[in-house]
Structures are given as structure tokens and as C-alpha cells.
A = this chain, B = another copy of it.
Amino acid sequence: MKHNETISLLLNRKSVRKFQETVPDLETIEAIVRAGQQAPFASQLYSVVYQSGGKYAFQAPLWFLICADIHKLRLFMKRRGWEIVTNGVTLLLFAIQDASFMAENMVIAAESLGLGSCFLGECSTNANRMRALVKKHHLPKGVFPVVELVMGFPAEEYPPRPRYPLDFTLFKDRYPELTEEGLTQAMAQMDDGYRAQGYYKNQNIKVKTPGREDTMSFDEYGWTEHISRKWGQWEPSPDKLLEVLKEQGFAFSEEDE
């Protein structure tokens, strides 16, 4: 496989959950966000709010909220004598992509400056968290939180986490029928990989299963079990999230507009 310094940086990245106390300076923050801005975008449908010098998730000294933003779009369109007519689903799809491209560039820029980071996706499943972020940071209509990102100088070191085999990810010409054997291999690569790193055992993390007996030991518990317990129990109703998204100006039916 081809290698160079950037590819090594990308392949060695891992999410960091233990940080030194040193607060990254403004020059560093600005370099990271400027690099984020230069990602390819549909229409720069993003904004970033940050806080530094406190203790954020995992005691990180720096926190970003990467937002989808059509507020700025609406403002300059008004100046030019236009208004947004595009439907809320298209706006949502493009705005999440723009925000995510920027967020990933920020992760890579940070990594290159010796900083570690960790995404926090809670606001995509917990409508209360999404609304609290909207209120606390005064996000206007047209703006909603896509993902939180904490950052700082790492106080832990470990190898990159496992990923699916490439042949379970990259398909030529068409999406294939996935075989039982391919599935077995992909699950094993994830589960054995996480267990070899002692990931769940060392942190004593297991997703609880209220109403189901849980007799699984950490010798058995792996990535596929952990992920299954999340998606098998997380919020069944979209209603609360749709309500916040609608409040923020992303309506999914024509009568909502």
C-alpha cells in the first residue's frame, strides 16, 4: 500500500479521552479552524462555537461545537433579493456534510499539531442535549449542533483502533451480496482487535441491557456486542429530534415550512 507522511498521520489517528492540562493557544485554535474551512463544501453551511480553559468532556481543555448553518446563507440571500425555497431534507443533507467535512479537517489539522481529539455524538440521539446546546450557545434559527469535539494534548498513547477489513468496505462497481463468511471475518477483526487492546475491559465499559440478563464477560464482550447494545436500545422515536430540527428551521414536510 502507498505511504507518505500524511497517510501515516491519517492511519495512526485515534480518539483521545485523557488530556494534559495545557490549554492550546488561540493561534493553534485558529490554525485548526482555518484548515477546517478549506475543506470542499456545498455552500459553507457551517459554523463553529468554541470554549477553552474549562474542563470539558474527558477533562479536555478545549471544546468545539460544529454546527450546520443556513442562517448565514439566509442573511446573504436576503441582501441579494433571494429567499431559500429548497426543502429541509436537502438543506439537512448538505449542511451535515459541510459541517462534517470541516470537522474532519479540524481533527486532522489538530493531529498534525500534536493534539488529540474525540467526537461526541450525543446530540444526534438525545434531543434534550441538542436543545440544551442550542439554548446555551444562542444558536439562531437555521443553525443546529452536528457534533461536539473535545481537544487537547494527549495524556494517553495506544495503537489505532481496528476497522472493518477493506473488502467489507470498498466494493468495485456494485454493492455485493455480503457472504456469511465475510461477515464472520469482519466481526472477528473488530471484536478480536478491540479485545486484544483490552478496550472495554480496561475502562470497565459495558452497555447495560435493562430487561435482558447480561452474563457476558469481558472475554466475550467486543465491538459488535457494544454497538449492538447501543442501536438495539437507543431512542426509538424520532419525534423529539424532529421537533428540535423543525424549531431550528429544518422542516421535513411542506406543511411544516
Instruction: Using CB atoms and an 8 Å cutoff, list the residues of chain A in contact with chain B.
Output: 1-7, 9-13, 15, 27-31, 33-35, 37-40, 42-44, 46-51, 67, 71-73, 75-77, 79-91, 93-94, 96-97, 100-101, 103-105, 107-109, 111-113, 117-119, 121, 124-125, 136-140, 143, 146-147, 160, 163-164, 166, 168-176, 178, 183, 186-187, 224-225, 227-239, 241-242, 245, 252-254
State how many copies of this chain the complex holds: 2
Rounded to whole angstroms, the CA-CA distance of A30 and B160 in the bound complex is: 18
Cβ–Cβ contact B1 & A27, under 8 A: yes
Cβ–Cβ contact A231 & B85, under 8 A: yes
The residue that A88 contacts in the complex, of B86, B174, B238, B245, with Cβ under 8 A, is B238
Chain B residues in 8 Å Cβ range of A2: 27-28, 31, 113
Rounded to whole angstroms, the CA-CA distance of A236 and B89 in the bound complex is: 10
Chain B residues in 8 Å Cβ range of A82: 228-229, 231-232
Chain B residues in 8 Å Cβ range of A232: 77, 82-85
